[in-house]
């Protein structure tokens, strides 16, 4: 399954969305949330909201409680200024009891991996984390200039 998801992700990122959808549909087993999520990501990357809606429906079938597919599609619809569709999707999330989970990040400081939520002060090493992140950002700006 993982190889299919990777292949579909590669095709999707490359803009070969119809081929990626064909591969997903012809798999010898039922595609999971990773397969549909990879295809949905490609649809959104290439602004193919027509195909994204169908992929979203398939993703909700296999993983109805995951907030990721709802949020991804809502963001794409908002980017396209389809506010009525965004409202319907958010209403649907409330009805299903699906809540957006805050994303977490990880950073390695002196050999220790720290998991944190951006904007939260709950981590006891938050000052060190922000210091490290600022240093990484400066280094990336330097390397890309």
Strand, coil or helix: what is 112?
Answer: strand
Share of the chain above pLDDT 90, in %: 43
Residue found by looking up tokens 């990501």 in the block: 41
**What is the chain's mean pLDDT, rounded?**
89
Q: Which two tokens stand for residue 1?
A: 């399954």
Task: Give the mean pLDDT of 40-66.
Answer: 90
Domain ranges within the chain, ordered by starting residue: 2-96, 105-144
Confidence of residue 72 (pLDDT cuts 50, 70, 90): confident
Q: What is the mean pLDDT of residues 43-67?
A: 89
67 contacts 101 by C-beta, under 8 angstroms: yes
Max mean pLDDT range (10-24, 71-85, 105-119):
10-24
Averaged pLDDT for residues 17-43? 93
> Rounded mean pLDDT of 69-92?
89
The architecture that CATH gives domain 2-96 is Alpha Horseshoe (1.25)
């Amino acid at each position: 399954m993982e190889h299919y998801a990777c292949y579909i992700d590669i095709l999707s990122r490359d803009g070969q969305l119809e081929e990626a959808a064909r591969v997903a549909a012809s798999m010898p087993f039922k595609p999971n949330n990773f397969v549909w999520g990879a295809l949905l990501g490609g649809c959104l990357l290439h602004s193919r909201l027509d195909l994204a809606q169908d992929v979203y429906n398939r993703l909700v079938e296999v993983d109805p409680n995951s907030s990721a597919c709802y949020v991804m599609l809502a963001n794409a619809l908002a980017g396209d200024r389809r506010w009525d569709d965004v409202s319907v999707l958010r209403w649907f999330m409330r009805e299903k009891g699906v809540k957006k989970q805050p994303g977490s990040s990880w950073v390695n400081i002196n050999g220790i991996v720290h998991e944190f939520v951006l904007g939260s002060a709950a981590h006891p090493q938050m000052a060190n984390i922000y210091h490290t992140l600022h240093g990484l950002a400066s280094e990336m700006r330097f390397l890309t200039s």
